[in-house]
A and B are shown apart, each in its own frame.
Chain A
Amino acid sequence: MNIIETNKLRKVFNVRQGKNGGDQTIEAVKGIDLQVRTGEIFGFLGPNGAGKTTTLRMLSTLIPPTDGQATIAGHDLLRNPKQVREVIGYVSQVGGVDVTATGRENLLLQAQLCGMARHEAEQRTNELLVALDLTSFADRVAKTYSGGQRRRLDLALGMVHRPRLLFLDEPTTGLDPQSRARLWDEVRRLRSEGTTIFLTTHYLEEADILADRLAIMDHGEIVAEGTPKQLKQQIAGDVISLGLETQNGAAQHAHNLLNEQPYVREIHPSDGLFQLYVEHGEETLPAVLRLLDGAGLSVRTVSLSRPTLDDVFLRRTGRSLRESIE
């Protein structure tokens, strides 16, 4: 059973240019088909500007799509936005904490806006304060919270009305590793309680570790979709990363040389660094080193790894996600 189904969902923005530039249109989301299954953690991975947030905002009724349809928990996104809002929670990139109020006041207000009576709202607030370990500072103004504390309050605010589907836009951006791991635990716990989670991220590790299934998005299109394992398996073999001295056309020389070897399936050079996709990396590596050494090319660094989601991204887009972010 799919909790989200989209059919050619598309968003075009009109961007006003300078005085005589006229209007320009930007196709932020280029007609995507997406299925998110009930009860899973679905990751949406891609660089900034890929269209992740735009998609999320369409699905959470904040902006209308230009074209296409979507159903969320059986409700039509365009015809029944109100019913959609009742089953979804949304935590935006910037969160949504009112920093002039205390954590408790934030939660109480949100609960009551979601239709709970006062005592019910109080009960739910206490539940969430305990669940997300916010109790010890619940009555302090949110201005004084640390990044991790604030993010947990964001999460609590998104969960107030026990949504069946929770959208999290870049939930761990800017958090230290410890707070991030903690948020991951919360997200997993939510899933174990039956909530479907749709999160966007540009962290490869996050998508890999946290998501049950994921879609990789780039330039408004979905370029790959599947479980992290499936996606990585599409890149059979191992990855050898080589750092070479690149003076006097050595890079080109090395490229040509490596390209001729039967065991090299693919090469992605970038700036003195070569990514070689090979079979049986352990056995191939010594051969590669001997080859380069024999040709008088000096190797500065070398590493051998299993393919990561970045390799999947690289394969599909010709760019490294890690570099797209930096």
Chain B
Amino acid sequence: MTFLRHTQLIFMRNVRRTLREPAWIMIGMFQPVLYLLLFAPLLDNLVLPGYGDTSSLNIFVPGLLVMIALFGLGFAGFGILDDLRNGVIERFRVTSASRLALLLGMILHDVVVFLLQCAVLVVVATLMGFRADIVGLVVLFGLLALVGLMVAAFSYALGLIFRDESSLAASLSTLTLPLLLLSGVLLPLSLAPELLQTIADFNPFLHIVEAARALIHGDMGHNSIAIAYGVVFVMMLLTMQWAISLFRRATA
């Protein structure tokens, strides 16, 4: 009980903070929406190998959701830097509140913001002609929630290690760009040379994007779905474990 209550308290505290500075949510969404408006129309006249006559938006939108995860949520760790510097984390840690509850409250806030951004993107895309299978979409949001926990925990862990904006930004950009390029978000990786495809197979985001496309299509039996859920769940547990162990030791 206390655990849930403390999680909720920290969650609400971060929600209030976000509502005071809503610009950040917009900034996180800016890139994906730009891609949707300025890049997606180009795909209409392109015949993508291996996708038959599927609408290009149906291929592109799942990729954009993963892009929000990487470029928006990937930078969630910035949120903890000010708190570390201002002694807020330390103040929380001197109370008898559970450390996991403190961290989880912060991360859940970021995941909720992320899911809302995804929802907005889906709505905008739908206005442009995107059509998704409803059940598949619900299952996809479940997957995205797990992806969110994994990415946010990872970003917090890096934040706790680097402690300052410039090195965190540098390390995150270095990581997120290859992860994005090798996930087949912009163009399918079937266009890539074999070596690149082999490397990409180890990229969890590739499997997430594939599962997302299958789900949008309503192809519930596609084996990429189980793979993505499995991989993301295990990685989520690992990154959470990593973040919490760093958080326990965190001192300003």
A interface residues, Cβ below 8 angstroms from B: 57, 60-63, 82, 85-86, 88-90, 92-101, 105, 109-110, 112-115, 141, 157, 161
Alpha-carbon distance between A100 and B6 when the two chains are bound, in angstroms? 19
- Return chain B residues, CB-CB under 8 Å to A100: 17, 20-21, 82
Report yes or no: B83 in contact with A98, Cβ–Cβ below 8 A: yes
The smallest beta-carbon distance between B99 and chain A, in angstroms, is: 12
Q: Which residues of A contact B97 (CB under 8 A)?
A: 113-114
Q: How far is the CA of A101 from the CA of B6 in the complex (A)?
A: 17
Would you list 29 pairs from A and B whose C-beta atoms are within 8 A, ordered by A residue? Answer: A57-B251, A62-B94, A62-B251, A63-B251, A85-B95, A86-B96, A89-B94, A92-B87, A92-B91, A93-B87, A94-B85, A94-B86, A96-B87, A96-B90, A97-B86, A98-B13, A98-B86, A100-B20, A100-B21, A101-B17, A105-B13, A109-B9, A110-B95, A113-B6, A113-B92, A113-B97, A114-B96, A115-B2, A157-B91
Which A residues lie within 8 Å of B6 (CB)? Answer: 113
B16 contacts chain A at the CB level, 8 A cutoff? yes
> Interface size (B, Cβ < 8 Å)?
25
Q: Please give, as numbers and ranges, the residues of chain B lying within 8 Å of A93 by CB-CB distance.
A: 87
CB-CB nearest 10 A-B residue pairs: A96-B91, A96-B87, A94-B87, A90-B94, A113-B95, A113-B97, A92-B87, A100-B17, A85-B96, A98-B88
Partner of A82 from the list B5, B83, B96 (CB cut-off 8 Å) is B96
Are A88 and B17 within 8 A (Cβ)? Answer: no
Shortest CB distance A187–B (Å): 19
Most buried by A among B20, B86, B93: B86
Contact B88 A97 (CB under 8 A): yes
How far, in whole Å, are A3 and B87 apart by their CA atoms in the complex?
25
Contacts of A109 in B (CB 8 A): 9, 13
Q: A61-B94, A98-B83, A141-B20 are in contact. List 17 more A-B contacts (CB 8 A).
A: A63-B251, A89-B94, A93-B87, A94-B85, A94-B86, A95-B87, A97-B87, A98-B17, A99-B86, A100-B20, A105-B16, A109-B9, A109-B13, A110-B91, A113-B92, A114-B95, A114-B96
Question: For the complex, is B237 an interface residue (Cβ under 8 Å from A)?
Answer: no
Tell me the complex Cα distance, A97–B5, Å. Answer: 21
B96 adjacent to A96 (CB under 8 Å): no
- Least Cβ–Cβ distance between A167 and chain B, in angstroms: 9
> Closest residue to B14 on the A side, CB-wise?
A100
Q: B216-250: which have CB < 8 Å to A? A: none
In the assembly, what is the distance between CA of A88 and CA of B96, in Å? 10
Let me know if A62 and B86 touch, CB within 8 A: no
Q: How far is the CA of A110 from the CA of B88 in the complex (A)?
A: 10
Contacts of A57 in B (CB 8 A): 251
- In chain B, what residue has the closest Cβ to A112? B9
The docked-state distance in angstroms from the alpha carbon of A113 to that of B91 is 10
A292 to chain B, nearest CB (A): 52
The chain A residue sitting closest to B8, CB to CB, is A112
CA–CA, A228 and B85, complex, Å: 34
B123 within 8 A of A: no
Q: Give B60-80 as 1s and 0s: 1 = Cβ < 8 Å from A's Cβ atoms.
A: 000000000000000000000
The CA of A115 and the CA of B6, in the complex, are separated in Å by 9
**A88 & B94 in contact (Cβ 8 Å cutoff):** yes
Contact A96–B86 (Cβ < 8 Å): yes
Q: Let me know if B138 is at the binding interface, CB within 8 A.
A: no
Chain B residue with the shortest CB-CB distance to A86: B96
Among B5, B16, B96, the residue within 8 A (CB) of A101 is: B16
Bound Cα distance A114, B202 (Å): 44
Q: A92-B252, A96-B86, A105-B16 are known contacts. Are A115 and B96 too (CB-CB below 8 A)?
A: yes
CA distance A115 to B251 in the complex (A): 23
Are A96 and B95 touching (Cβ within 8 A)? no
A92-B96 contact in complex given A98-B13, A100-B21, A115-B2, C-beta closer than 8 Å: no
Chain B positions within 8 Å of A95 at CB level: 86-87
Tell me the minimal C-beta distance from B177 to chain A in angstroms.
28
Residues of chain A contacted by B85 (CB below 8 angstroms):
94
Distance between B108 CB and nearest chain A CB, rounded to angstroms: 16
Q: Shortest distance in angstroms between A82's beta carbon and chain B's nearest beta carbon?
A: 6
Residues of B within 8 A of A92 (CB): 87, 90-91, 252
Chain B residues, Cβ within 8 Å of A98: 13, 17, 83, 86, 88
Question: Which residues of B sit under 8 angstroms from A86, Cβ to Cβ?
Answer: 96
Q: How far, in Å, is A153 (CB) from chain B's closest CB?
A: 11
Q: Which residues of A contact B20 (CB under 8 A)?
A: 100, 141
Q: Which chain B residue shows the least CB distance to A90?
A: B94
Bound Cα distance from A113 to B88, whole angstroms? 13
Q: Which residue of A lies closest to B5 (CB)?
A: A112
> Inside 8 A of A88's CB, which chain B residues have their CB?
94
Q: Within the complex, what minimum Cβ distance (angstroms) separates A115 from chain B?
A: 7
**A97 to B251 alpha-carbon distance, docked (Å):** 16
Assembled-state Cα–Cα distance A92/B82 (Å): 15
CB-nearest residue of chain A to B83: A98
